Amino acid sequence: MRVGILLSTGKDSLYAMYKAIEKGHEVVCLITLESENPHSWMFHTPNVRLVNAQAACLDIPLLKITTKGEKEKELEDLEKAIARAKQKYRLDGIVTGALYSKYQWTRIDKICRDHELTGIAPIWHYDQEKLLRDLVKDKFEVVISAIACDGMTKEWIGKELDEELIEKLVLLNKKVGINVAGEGGEYESLVLDCPMFKKKINILQSHAEMEDPRTGELVIELFEIVEKR
């Protein structure tokens, strides 16, 4: 099918895209909702402005609209974006990185059905620890872009996802019960490189901006898009 990807800049949406391509779907556009509300119920917000850079690395058209991020009302903006993308790119389906959030998946799936599109969730109920290990195995370069939970401190922000970091997440899960994939909002991620990227993103200048000792975000001041080796 010709599909559009709901792209958040994070690991789940891009890994869902990776799996959709594996299943033979043709990705013809990217769809991003940029929320003015940092506490959006539906949409990823940390460093979402880098979606333009990711689209350039993917060399796939991006349809991006802004939403105020008001609960339920933001779904109207998502529906407008999906309807516009369907018409412009002749879509058959929409791919989402929904993992365990029934709130997100049921709403996205309903919008798709209302517009005679197939909702596709390639990583729905994917084992969460396996997802992280598969990201590393499949050469996804992912960094922690925000934190909001007990057990995480400023030092976590900007860390690259690797086997060592996964072990720390597994231990934190056993200690305080966090979701290892960050599905409960414990942390957010940013993909700098992956197998679909024709180019990659390098962060040149950044810092951690903390709201309190366990809540903060990676602020990227300067980055570049570079050729891959």
Segments making up each domain of the chain, as ranges: 2-120, 129-227
Cα distances (Å, whole numbers) of residue 35 to 121, 161, 203: 22, 25, 23
Give the model confidence (pLDDT) of 139-180 as tens digits: 999 999 999 999 999 999 999 999 999 999 999 999 999 999
Predicted confidence at residue 212, as pLDDT, reads 95
Asked whether 140 and 161 are in contact (CB, 8 A), the reply is: yes
Cα distances (Å, whole numbers) of residue 224 to 61, 93, 190, 200: 19, 32, 15, 8
Q: Which CATH architecture has domain 2-120?
A: 3-Layer(aba) Sandwich (3.40)
Predicted confidence at residue 44, as pLDDT, reads 60
Closest CA to 115 of 16, 4, 12, 34: 4
The answer to whether the predicted template modeling score (pTM) of the entire model surpasses 0.85 is yes
Q: Which CATH architecture has domain 129-227?
A: Alpha-Beta Complex (3.90)
Predicted confidence at residue 193, as pLDDT, reads 98
